[in-house]
Amino acid sequence: MYKDRRNVPRYSAHLKATLHPQPEGTSVTVTVEDLCVLGCLLEYAPSLGVRQECELTLDWNGRKFRTPAVVAWNSPQGQAGLAFHDTDPASKALLREICSDLRLKPLVRLAEEPKSEE
């Protein structure tokens, strides 16, 4: 067995979504590359700052998934990780349904810790 930094399974999404920066900001279309019940990985999110509040909206089979989120991290390459919070029960149920239709990503193996020399 090996350690994995993931707390919940990730799913390959490659879905278009709309990101609404809070409290005010211009909505932008982003790509949700990976999705899980706790958050997502976005592509094309260059202007997001860490700890910035936002709302993510995603259309799925004629239904809208919408949730508040906070930017957990970002990269100079335009990627950002969102952590979902205060998601209402109906949206949580839809999120689980969306994830169940997506392909599960393999676990990410962490580098081995160096052995100490004594």
> Residue 84 sits in which domain range?
11-103
Top-confidence residue, 68 or 6: 68
Amino acid code (one letter) for 107: L
d(CA 45, CA 80): 6
Cα 108 to Cα 6, 17, 28, 72, 100: the distances in Å are 8, 25, 30, 19, 20
Chain segment 31-53, per-residue pLDDT in tens: 999 999 999 999 987 678 899 99
Residue 85: inside a domain: yes
Chain segment 83-102, per-residue pLDDT in tens: 999 999 999 999 999 999 99
d(CA 75, CA 65): 25
Residue 69: inside a domain: yes
Residue 44: inside a domain: yes
Q: What mean pLDDT do residues 52-62 have? A: 95
Top-confidence residue, 73 or 44: 73
CATH code of the domain in which 45 resides: 2.40.10.220
Q: What is the band of 67 on the pLDDT scale with cuts at 50, 70, 90?
A: very high
Residue 32: inside a domain: yes
Q: Is 98 helix (H, G, I), strand (E, B) or coil?
A: helix
Instruction: Indicate the number of domains in the chain.
Output: 1
